[in-house]
Amino acid sequence: MKAAVLGAGSWGTTFAQVLCDAGTPATLWARQADVAAAITEIHENPRYLPGLALPPTLTATTDVAAALEGAELVVLAVPAQTLRENLTAWAPLVPDGSLLVSLMKGIELGSHKRMTEVILEVLDVQPTRVAVVSGPNLAREIAERQFAASVVASSDKLSAQLLQRACHTEYFRAYWNTDVVGCELGGVVKNVIALAVGIGVALGLGDNTKAMLITRGLAEMARLGEVMGADPRTFAGLAGMGDLVATCSSPLSRNRRFGEYLGRGMNIAQAKEMTIQTAEGVTSYAPVLELARKYGVEMPITEVVGAVITGRLSVGDAAAVLMARSAKPEWYGTE
């Protein structure tokens, strides 16, 4: 089985490494010629994973047609808001029958569609041909071949298991399930909660605050997922709690770092300049809130993050606004 990974950022490059290490030959498509050349010639991605040796079997190209030729797995690892435009251009080149895999953790602005929904719409394929990878996947640690695990999900059990076999290695353990909705929502909402945790860290708030934000953030994720048809068990697993803990706890997380920049007083433009790659939560908070309002779901942490990003609330007032909410039962629906 041959794979094409479209997007040579840190996670795209790392997942391509995982595929190669699992015995699945992979070709990376990179936008920058210097990145493609370095991956192929010196087996390193100096822009996104400096100092880490990539498999000699991994090659890269700036020619998307060459990357896609003969691919049975097509892995999409571009920023969420660019997916539709890129995929529309690439559609004639995507091999018939290939399994389309999303590594992206975002919601499309305007349409409120998850990434797999965008793929289905643009390419007009059956859901059985689409899968998603989600979990606590801090790219640099996995590129260093530290032990990690993730969920590979497709509505079709056989597709999920095929992807599992393609990326299962001694250091990267893949679990399969069929809850695409839950896996995607977990990957999106955790980025927004990580922004809140980053702000709290910058303000000098401690582990109790961090634990509160993570736990109540999980509640927001699960409430939205439940009304959108997700399996509640997903949010207790790798694509829910696992991803949330890693993203909120690690300074390697770009969304947490972005939150820290905001907490130190930087504006959005300054924080973006400091963040090499896209912090998806900065954009995804808006469609997440629109989905929450559509389904009548309370997401107070997400609301506060949105107010900070849009300048309607100062960083210093964010915690006070959350803590001023009326007392409630821990479990919604409790009398």
In the residue annotation, 294 being an active-site residue is answered as: no
Which one from 190, 210, 272, 294 is the annotated catalytic residue? 190
Q: Which position has the token pair 């059990």?
A: 157
Q: What pLDDT score does 316 carry?
A: 86
Res. 70: pLDDT tops 70? yes
Q: What is the pLDDT of residues 231-263, one digit of tens each?
A: 999 999 999 999 999 999 999 999 999 999 999
Choose among 93, 25, 86: nearest CA to 59: 25
Bridge-based pairing state of the strands 130-134 and 99-102? parallel
Strand 73-76 with 148-154, pairing: unpaired
Query: Percent of the chain at pLDDT above 90?
Result: 88
Compute φ and ψ for 197, nearest 5 degrees: -65, -40
pLDDT in tens, 106-140: 999 999 999 999 999 999 999 999 999 999 999 99
- Start-end of H helices in the chain: 10-21, 33-41, 64-68, 83-90, 115-123, 139-143, 157-167, 180-202, 207-227, 243-249, 254-263, 268-274, 281-295, 300-309, 315-323
Residue 93 pLDDT greater than 70, yes or no: yes
Q: Strand, helix or coil at 2?
A: coil
CA dihedral 36, 9, 116, 274 (to 10 degrees): -150
The average pLDDT across 54-71 equals: 97
State residue 329's pLDDT score: 79
pLDDT of 335 strictly over 50: no
**pLDDT given at position 210:** 94
pTM summary value: 0.94
Q: What span, in angstroms and rounded, lies between the C-alpha atoms of 137 and 149? A: 8
In angstroms, rounded to a whole number, what is the distance separating the alpha carbons of residues 192 and 283?
A: 9
Structure-block tokens of residue 90: 């690439």
Confidence check: pLDDT of 334 > 60: no
* CA–CA gap between residue 70 and residue 301 (Å, rounded): 45
Asked whether residue 332 carries a pLDDT value surpassing 70, the answer given is no
pLDDT at 333 over 60: no
